[in-house]
Structure 1
């Protein structure tokens, strides 16, 4: 628990990892730490300390229970002596504040010129980028925060490990590799977006091959190719990257609006 709570919270936000910020809101009598002391708890780790002992153990337990649900901030008061058996004997009030980063995952397959441009554009957005390519020397020496470089000789196998509702951009150095990733992603049928770089002709070829692999018309309808918003037809890597990012943002906002309508109806 050596990392400071503020640095830990910032790092977790960049990585898209939910956490609970635990703050000593008030003390009455003898207590292990003063008001304002903070710690951060995730599902598997904790950072900084509110004094250790049974109080901290119980705080971590409560925080992880909150992470498993959708509870909002809550204040809890703990009598240290009777309830927790700590020798301090005072009372401590803890504030539990769930921190759920509104990040989305982009899986980018390909570290060519367009892939590099895509990373530069998307890294400025609230997203986590997993960047795949079999060529370690294709990646730049330094990547922005929130970007995970993953060297793999079988990119299509990485599809199974992606989270549900991930946004996929497929633009490798090989049509055969593109096809393997595309077919696997469409078969899994659980992603928010499957974008394949290329022309309408490439799409037609891929649809033919995917049908031969047993994919249905409904599955193929979820493929986005060509990628990018309408009206931006430039071939420069930066133009393609901006057009693709704009398309993802527009589609993501449409999905969020639909979810809000569903939530309102349920309420």
Structure 2
């Protein structure tokens, strides 16, 4: 028996839970003869479609515009206007406005190394946040089926440090907190060879970091490279934490990451300006008269 395709709302829920880039296309106004009425919706990804706005050239142009915005990572709201006898080459003769809501996917990405007590608390605290977490540990029994319970979380067995670090996506944030100082050092040294990793954090005391800096210098890393590492992590405004329970440490680390990953909103992605809305409704009224 063939499984029926997702409806647009089922697909939207699934894609937002997984952090997959997608566009929600909504027909917001129409005038004259059109394939569907306002409120019709479809969801568009790079390689799939869910539901329909009525088909034809108009829908193909909507899909093309949506996928172009996905490729650009152009998040937010974008309004597309279609004259079904002109731009779209259809015989309906109507006029349609489609609102494209672009969700570029879970961002940022966090590479978390270490599934100890603090790592588990960080993962739990991050669950409501729009982050995709790749979680690594060299111990095969460390994750306790966590990936089955939390969206946007992938668990990986850390087998080869160099291969793992080379495979990380560009612009991700890395946190190192394994059960082994030697493993921590190997990860930090490998991460410093990736200038496209956005931030690097290391758990540990001041004395641990002094020791690591000496080793990194001996291994040929320059001071400006070593300074890319934050250690200790979670020192908000330079203040060290007195409560050192795993939950408290995780809270400060997540707070620190929020400040590092927060980006100002582009004014163009804050919604439709009043003048645009007035023009939209005026054009629709003119087309229907």
Q: TM-score, normalised by structure 2?
A: 0.76
Q: CA separation of 1:171/1:53 partners in 2, compared to 1, >3 Å: closer, same or farther?
A: same
Q: CA deviation at 1:155?
A: 4.2
The DSSP-based 3-state class of the residue aligned with 1:116 is helix
Q: Does 1:56 align with 2:65?
A: no
Determine which of 237, 251, 255 is the counterpart of 1:246: 255
C-alpha spacing 1:74/1:239, structure 2 compared with 1 (3 Å): same
Higher RCO (CA 8 Å, separation ≥ 6 residues) = 2
Asked whether 1:160 is paired with 2:166, we answer yes
From 153, 171, 178, the equivalent of 1:147 is: 153
SS at match of 1:207: helix
Counterpart residue number, 1:120 = 124
Tell me the residue number matched to 2:84.
Answer: 79
Query: Residue 8 of structure 1 corresponds to which residue in structure 2?
Result: 11
Q: Does 1:178 align with 2:184?
A: yes
Give TM-score, length-normalised by structure 1. Answer: 0.81
Give the Cα–Cα distance (whole angstroms) in 2 for the partners of residues 227 and 12 of structure 1: 32
Q: Is the alpha carbon distance of 1:221 and 1:44 closer, same or farther for their aligned partners in structure 2, counting shifts above 3 Å? A: same
Count residues in correspondence: 255
* 1:232 pairs with one of 241, 246, 250: 241
Q: Which consecutive unaligned segments of at least 5 residues does structure 1 have? A: 261-267
CA shift digits 1:64-89 (9 cap, x unpaired): 12233448511321416x66565x63
More moved, 20-29 vs 33-42: 20-29
Q: Deviations over 1:93-117 (max 9, x none)?
A: 1413232368322211111222111
In structure 2, the partner of 1:264 is none
User: Partner residue of 2:101?
Assistant: 98
Q: CA-to-partner distance for each residue in 1:140-176, whole Å, 9 max, x for gaps?
A: 2243222222234124423333333322111122223
Q: CA offset at residue 186 of structure 1?
A: 1.4
Change (3 A) 1:137 1:6: same
Q: What is the SS of the residue equivalent to 2:136?
A: strand
